[in-house]
Structure 1
Amino acid sequence: MTLDQFRSVADRALEPFVALSTRIGVSPDAISVLAFLAAVAAGGVYYVAGEMAILYLAGAVLVGLNGALDLLDGAVAREQNVDSKAGDLLDHVLDRYADIVIIAGLAAGIGSYVLGFAAVTGVLMTSYLGTQAQAVGLDRVYAGVLGRADRLAIIGIVTGIAAFVQPTIAGVGPIGWLLVLFAVVGHVTALQRFWGAWNALD
């Protein structure tokens, strides 16, 4: 996980938006829903972009918006002093559905359903192992090769590039290799988290 190291930088960059959200009375839960809607829109755009590559650029923007709003909801909750377990639950559930629709859109857009299945299960298992540690009495686990912020950044970069050029390696284009990355690294990260939690329970 690399981008999570810069969380404090992102929080400072979001301060004007936190202040604006508080001033106009936007709740953290509303921001979480907006983040999810941005992800749904990204998934839909990625599906269509399989036939019209330039739309990958719009998808990249929407994924970036999803990531920014996902940071903003927590910052607003802390600023308004309304952070709660219910809000945390909503945020995490919507994040998982967001992951699913984005990856499903990418996979369906290129008709690669097996890769899509492998990628989405890798992503979901990564998140599951992160929170399952809490269920057995440990802290929530964020360690691993690739976290959510990293995934969103990689999706944005790769699909932004794919809007203009789509080189193939071994007959597989950039979106296909993106799914391969998430499939492999997702399951490796899940196993990393499992192993760390297992050792912590000894």
Structure 2
Amino acid sequence: MKIKFEDHQAQNLLVYFAGWGTPISAVSHLVMPENYDLLICYDYQDLSLDFDFSGYQKIRLVAWSMGVWVAERALQGTPLESATAVNGTGLPCDDQAGIPFTIFKGTLDNLNETTRAKFERRICGDKTNLAFYHSMPARDFQEIQQELTALFHAIEQDQRTDLIQWTKAIIGCKDKIFSPENQRHYWCTRCEINEIEGEHYLFSHLTHWAQLWN
């Protein structure tokens, strides 16, 4: 995977795992908490994360969509102050607890620039949210195609769950990618659930990172 590290010489660390194919700037408007560095993880063509977490007092995790599944593997064994899953589950390709298999596979098999645009409309919902999302630089099409291919095969081979302890799941009530029903089914026995009026891309409704764990 790729990373972007914002070093503020802080004692604490916020780790964000992006959704598949999404620009890292999708969260750039969120105000950082005091005394935190920021590590952004994205482009999951491989799942190796080379980063030294040992110097931090507190580590908080926020993972969006496919980033939930990836974070469980990358941060297994890392002590976390909090771990928030946003519109994702630990079983991302699953008929009852994630994206139904036929839809996931269909997205991969039919991915082109046209279907990518349709997917982005689905994750954003209304035109205002879509305009906000499109104000950010898009990622390279070939890169996100390779990323989804790698994710599909990795998820097929690794169905383990609960590799880390999640403290909160945030569900957008209008999510058209991970259905709210499937998210509730997955998280109801695992952690606190917070439902908000929002689409799959719901960060435009937020102003501060701390809203994701407070």
Please tell me the TM-score bracket, short chain as reference: under 0.3
Report the structure, 1 or 2, having the larger strand content. 2
Report the structure, 1 or 2, having the larger helix content. 1
Structure with max Cα Rg: 1
